[in-house]
Structure 1
Amino acid sequence: MQEEVDLILDDAAETMQKAINHLEAELVKVRAGKASPTMLDGITVEYYGAPTLINQVANVTVQDARTLTIQPWEKAMLPKIDRAIMGANIGVTPQNDGVQIRLFMPPLTEERRRELFKKATAEGEQAKVAIRNIRRDAIEQFKKLQKEGLSEDAVKDAEKAAQDLTDKHIALVEKHLAAKEKEMMTI
């Protein structure tokens, strides 16, 4: 029975770490005034009839702290990439010079910084909810094991271990949000 408890806890820890990894990926997409190729993650263009990520049809590079350049491998992709960026509503207007597209990151206003931080906070809340749901599922599995013969003390210990895992991962979420807030609020 103890092996099953350990297996449930290991699975919960692994799934909670996936929630943290997802949060990190989402926080990278929230722009903090600096140019980053990850801003374009998830934006697709029509490429020979298939939706394709921009970084798979063009070179995306950081020219300087506030400028991102996109140079498509095929010139015919310029207008499609331009439209896709406009449609994604990332807060930047693409500048198409016929050879490449430049994205100039405007300096963020205080209001825009707060708005972006609200978005980051919402991502953090989603991660916390996911972590708590993982804890709930683990506790339900412990209760099923109790019905199959696991002692009440062992169930209480397992629930405490699941709670400790949850607390640890929620603290990580808070740490990531604090770092993002610091990054966003510095000018």
Structure 2
Amino acid sequence: MVTEELELIMDDAESSMKKAIAHLESELTKIRAGKASPAMLDGINVEYYGSPTPLNQVANVSVLDARTISIQPWEKNMLAAIERAILQANIGITPQNDGVQIRLFMPPLTEERRKELFRKASAEGEHSKVAIRNIRRDSIEHIKKLQKDGLSEDAVKDAEKDIQLMTDKYIVLVDKHLAAKEKEMMAV
């Protein structure tokens, strides 16, 4: 029974670390790297008949070219609300409304803006590393509680080593994601 609990702790740790990586990936896609991407607009809600609704549920969002995003609302009266939502989201792009659709033109990134965006990406990476280390700490605490319930000292040491190896693997993954994002930012 104790070994089943140990396996459960290990599985929980692994799944929580995967979630931390998935969260990092979603946050990094929101940080623009000079290329237009519909993911940049994730998290922007538009006031739709009194309730906040995700932008992609009130309009068709598409990429016209490497620097242009087109937003075609399904209802023409939504243009002003969408424009307002984009401005409030403060993504650093001014929407261009032509009465039929809204276009977002990505300005080329300045060196200063690139550094600022990379700092933002690095901060997200650091948050992920902290989350992974907290998962490690919590898992090791659970394992030590199992030792009091009769788990052998060798099994505890092995489990702690496994948790540490898992932690190292996910920390390296965070660094790889950050390196890829930096390369993407500097390539433009």
Point out where structure 2 has 5 or more consecutive residues left out of the alignment: none
Distance 1:169 1:162 in 2: 11
Distance 2:171 2:165 in 1: 10
CA RMSD of aligned residues (A): 0.6
Q: How does 1:1-187 map to 2 (within 5 A)?
A: 1-187=2-188
CA-to-aligned-CA distance 1:119-150 (integer Å, 9 cap, x gap):
00000000000000100110010011011111
Kindly provide the amino acid, as one letter, of the partner of residue 150 in structure 1.
Answer: L
Q: Which runs of 4+ in 1 moved over 3 A?
A: none
CA-to-aligned-CA distance 1:84-108 (integer Å, 9 cap, x gap):
1001110100000000000000000
Distance 2:87 2:160 in 1: 48
TM-score (norm 1): 0.99
Point out where structure 1 has 5 or more consecutive residues left out of the alignment: none
Distance 1:168 1:10 in 2: 15
State the aligned residue count.
Answer: 187
Report SS of the residue matched to 1:150: coil
Q: Percent identity?
A: 75
Distance 2:105 2:146 in 1: 57
CA deviation after TM superposition for structure 1 residue 186, in Å: 1.2
Distance 1:84 1:46 in 2: 8
Distance 2:8 2:89 in 1: 42
Kindly provide the amino acid, as one letter, of the partner of residue 30 in structure 1.
Answer: I
CA deviation after TM superposition for structure 1 residue 6, in Å: 1.4
Distance 2:140 2:151 in 1: 13
CA deviation after TM superposition for structure 1 residue 2, in Å: 1.8
CA deviation after TM superposition for structure 1 residue 49, in Å: 1.3
Distance 2:185 2:65 in 1: 18
Distance 1:5 1:101 in 2: 54
Distance 2:145 2:122 in 1: 35
TM-score (norm 2): 0.98
